[in-house]
Amino acid sequence: MTITPHIATHKSEALLFFTLLQLTIIVLAARVGGSVALRVGQSAVVGEIIIGILLGPSLFGLLAPDIFQYVFHSGAPEPMQMLSQIGLILLMFQIGLEFDFAHLAAPKHRKSVMLIALASLILPFAFGFATGQVSAHLLSPSANALGTALFIATAFSITALPILGRIMMEFNMTRTPIGVIAISAAAINDVIGWLLLALITTLTLSDFNAGYFALKIGLVLGFFVLSWFAVRPVMKRILHHCDAQSGALSHNLLGIVLAAIFLSAMVTYQLGIFAIFGGFMMGVLLHDEHAFVRTWKARISPFVMVFFLPIFFTYTGLRTNIGSLDTLTAWGWCAMIILLATVGKFGGAYIAARIAGMSHAEGKVMGIMMNTRALMELIVINVGYDLGVISQQMFTMLVIMAIFSTVITSPLLRRWLPAIGIAIPTHTTKLDHSAHEQHG
């Protein structure tokens, strides 16, 4: 049957209408959530994450099911899915740009940094792996138990470096010794965490076939080497030719950079790992072009953070259904996951800090900072959900854990920082707002 032009036009207009309706609600709700979070002493992004979750079936779908269905299920889901993925690729590019590898090479406090980075990675990974192995047949019965355990372990291990950086700015900690150690350890933690995620994704997609996995790893390593030694010099030459070192960002340069980000994402997709790794890699390649990074943050980052990031949070929220935790057993598992993730991350960092010669009070501060997960864990578990190794129920539990681990950071820092001689700024809300505007 042939679809007449006016019917096709009507369907396109209807799809556009529902996409615009969703975007309007998402963008405005995120601003409200961010503002409320700032008023109660949280990072704005925490409010945006929570609002994204509440726009899903956990609250909006529960309180107003008919309106929820009308808004989010009247049109095809593909436009929002694609916008979410494009936004995530751009966000990963920005995360790559924000990596300060100088922290990894700084000789000062090197022993403390390495001890804390490794302990706060290994202990929670072990706890997460054990949790995944024990819970897989109950909470993700249709998934491969090893794949489930590996993704839960990675989710337990990750630290949200950008969020931690903003919180440290809020508390004027960026130039303190403990702040430098924390951000350096978090940087190492994140580098290893993203490599782990790429590795585990490749392993899962290879169906745990050793030969196919080795081939994929070889291809991915080849891509990284080629990117660093061939693509990076070309991109730097282009940036210098376009006068990026002076802070200029011409339309042509912006077009070239966006095309490079998307091509890199396409390559990693073709290699059999997620497109987001390509975006991240391109950001890493350009992280030391400081003038370009400043200009990108000033001109492009605000749009990514205000438009694309809330779409990703809502996309995550639509997959999160707190109502699926409908038994005491399910809530018991959720509490256990939160407890083990917190003990693993906090405990690993605390013990390492004490071994490195820090005081009990400094160890507590280090532990709570390294326990901040937020956005990074959401990215990890979305990948696991897309691969089918994490069920919706487990996904929901891990989302709750990500929110909990981030929400407790600022209040506990306010309580513990005075004990190590760091005064609490009286204008933390203003500082947090400024940090959010500058760094997204």
First-to-final CA distance of the chain? 49
Chain segment 163-173, per-residue pLDDT in tens? 887 788 778 88
Return all residues near 19 (Cβ < 8 A) that are at least 6 apart.
75, 79, 80
Closest CA to 378 of 349, 400, 346: 400
Q: Which residue has the tokens 């303190």?
A: 176
Task: Please give the pLDDT value at position 427.
Answer: 52
Mean residue pLDDT across the chain: 87
Q: How far apart are CA 27 and CA 173, in angstroms?
A: 31
Instruction: Find out whether 358 and 134 touch, Cβ atoms under 8 Å.
Output: no
Chain segment 380-406, per-residue pLDDT in tens? 999 999 988 999 999 999 999 999 998
Q: How far apart are CA 367 and CA 125, in angstroms?
A: 15
Instruction: Find out whether 244 and 253 touch, Cβ atoms under 8 Å.
Output: yes
Amino acid at site 210: A
Task: Please give the pLDDT value at position 195.
Answer: 82
| Residue 332 CB-half CA count within 13 A | 5
Q: How far apart are CA 400 and CA 328, in angstroms?
A: 16
Chain segment 179-201, per-residue pLDDT in tens? 888 888 888 887 788 888 888 88
Q: Is the model's pLDDT at 222 over the cut of 60?
A: yes
Q: What residue ranges do the domains of the chain occupy? A: 21-439
Task: Please give the pLDDT value at position 438.
Answer: 41
Task: Please give the pLDDT value at position 1.
Answer: 44
**What CATH class is the domain 21-439?**
mainly alpha
Chain segment 306-343, per-residue pLDDT in tens? 999 999 999 999 999 998 898 999 999 999 999 999 99
Return all residues near 385 (Cβ < 8 A) that are at least 6 apart.
319, 392, 395
Banded pLDDT at 422 (limits 50, 70, 90)? confident
Instruction: Find out whether 372 and 160 touch, Cβ atoms under 8 Å.
Output: yes
Task: Please give the pLDDT value at position 141.
Answer: 87
Chain segment 228-268, per-residue pLDDT in tens? 999 999 999 999 999 888 888 899 999 999 999 999 999 98
Q: Which residue has the tokens 């995360």?
A: 95
Task: Please give the pLDDT value at position 100.
Answer: 63
Query: What are all long-range contacts of 251-256, with beta carbons under 8 Å and residues at least 24 apart?
Result: 254/300
Report which of residues 126 and 4 the model is more confident about: 126
Banded pLDDT at 125 (limits 50, 70, 90)? very high
High-pLDDT (> 70) share of the chain, %: 92
Banded pLDDT at 428 (limits 50, 70, 90)? very low
